[in-house]
Amino acid sequence: MYESPDKMVSHPAHYQSETGLEVIDVIEAFTFDLKGIEATDTGNIIKYACRWKQKNGIQDLEKIMWYTQHLIDHLRKLEKENENYEK
């Protein structure tokens, strides 16, 4: 894996817990079985939830809401398509 000498590239503090757990590892653990927009939205929700206090505050919390609603809309659309297909 590429490792930049710049810590802001490879290991920025706002993406690490006090114990050294990195957000990228959490995202990989919780999205490994997802694909496409489900993986992308879930990863972004996790990212912004983990960093909001250290980085952009309310703006990051609003991004969580945006990605959550986007994912809900996507899942509802799939659900509706599946219902129509089964009829």
What's the pLDDT tens digit per position in 2-56?
666 666 655 767 767 778 789 999 999 999 999 999 999 999 999 999 999 999 9
Amino acid at 38: E
pTM over 0.85: no
Torsion of CA 70, 15, 36, 73, to 10 degrees: -10
- The predicted model gives 64-79 an average pLDDT of 98
Q: What is the pLDDT of residue 70?
A: 99
Amino acid at 32: F
Residue pair 30/11 in contact (Cβ under 8 Å)? The answer is no
Q: What is the pLDDT of residue 51?
A: 93
Q: How far apart are CA 59 and CA 79, in angstroms?
A: 30
Q: What is the pLDDT of residue 24?
A: 93
